Amino acid sequence: MKPYPKYLDWLRYLSAWLLFTYGISKLAGVQFTHAPDMAQRPVGSLSGYQLTWYYYSYSHVYGSILGLVQVAGGAMLLFRKTATLGAAMMLPVMTNILMVNLFFFIGWGAQFTSAFIFASMLALLWHDRTALAGLFWRDQNAEPTNSRRFHRSVAALIVLVVAGEMAFGFAQRGANAGAAHAEPGARERLIGTWKVVSAGTIRPDGKFEPFPEYGPNPIGYLMYDTTGHMCVSLANPNDPHWANPEKPTDAERLRSYDAFFAYCGTYEVREKESRVIHRPEMGSWPHYIGTDQSRNFRLEGDRLILSEEETPPGGERSRYQVTWERVKGSKP
């Protein structure tokens, strides 16, 4: 029996300790957790760390299974008799964890720890490389001579089929990309800055009636950006100035409040339903914050028409409509 180096003992002990720590933290629900408000943020605004944690936190079962694998691997590393088996089991697991930590920028501590465990598993397996080479290569049976041509033909056919599938997939992807470039989706067409044209209610007889608080010629802007954020504002341009800007009267304050409306937050486009959902995070109307403000949308050239039906308390059901025109040069 060849001697077992002392440094391998320390590598497997340290690796076992780290695997126990991370495995138990997953089983206890400490890892793969995130702040509740993260679910409300656009995916494009999340860092690699936040995106990874949000993704893995979806399934507690997955986290528990991964934790159990790490605990089992750590337990096998505690004994020389099972250390090689533990290293063989943990190497692919640690390879995946190391790549996630590196390419999603999880943090220097996590990157160093996973790299250390990965290198330790390689060192343990390298010590038994002769036996492993026999197990996985030298002692394995090849195809029988009389049927070797058949097996190689099947292998070649599989490679050709996969190559054909990939070629077809790339061609289809190129065609879809060309179509998407030629005719952008609704979300891409919404992105930009829009100036209000009109805002009001459509009466049952079809007549358009401007909102009285904003007047017949309102001013306002609607902005959608590529990160999933939006802002909207509406105001009456004829709202009188305060007589004393430093000491406005209560009536002046109330009139200005009624003559201005705005909020900002995130948005989601449901193209098949022709609806855009605004999710205000701040606004002049506090009761809007944290709600879903759903609107029908219609694009007509450089105009965007948002509408929705509502029934005010004690009133009749009506449909309001706000028409916007794209500001020149604001296309993404």
Q: Where are the domains of the chain?
A: 6-138, 186-326
User: What CA–CA distance (Å, rounded) separates 230 from 191?
Assistant: 9
Residue 177: predicted pLDDT: 66
Q: Note whether 317 and 202 are within 8 A (CB).
A: no
Report the alpha-carbon distance of residue 131 to residue 126 in Å, rounded. 10
pLDDT of 57: 86
CB atoms within 10 A of CB 175: 10
Q: What pLDDT, on the 0 to 100 scale, is given for residue 240? A: 81
pLDDT tens track of the chain, all 332 residues?
A: 678 899 999 999 999 999 999 999 999 988 888 777 666 666 667 788 888 888 888 888 999 999 999 999 999 999 999 999 999 999 999 999 999 999 998 889 999 999 999 999 999 999 999 999 999 999 999 889 899 999 999 999 999 999 999 999 999 887 776 655 545 678 888 999 999 999 998 877 778 888 888 888 999 999 999 999 999 999 998 888 888 888 888 888 888 888 899 999 999 999 888 899 999 999 988 888 999 999 999 999 899 999 988 765 556 667 889 999 999 887 75
Do β-strands 318-326 and 219-224 pair in parallel, antiparallel, or remain unpaired?
unpaired
Question: Phi and psi for 141 in degrees, rounded to 5?
Answer: -80, 135
Round to whole Å and give the CA distance between 40 and 229: 11
Q: Would you state the pLDDT for residue 39?
A: 67
* The two structure tokens encoding residue 315: 């009133």
Q: What's residue 282's pLDDT?
A: 93
What is the C-alpha separation between 200 and 216, in angstroms, rounded?
9
Burial class of residue 234, CB neighbours in 10 A (0-12, 13-18, 19+): buried
pTM, to two decimals = 0.56
Report the relative pairing of strands 260-270 and 275-283 from DSSP bridges. Answer: antiparallel
Q: What pLDDT does 164 receive?
A: 95
| Alpha carbon distance 79, 268 (integer Å) | 54
The CATH code for residues 186-326 is 2.40.128.320
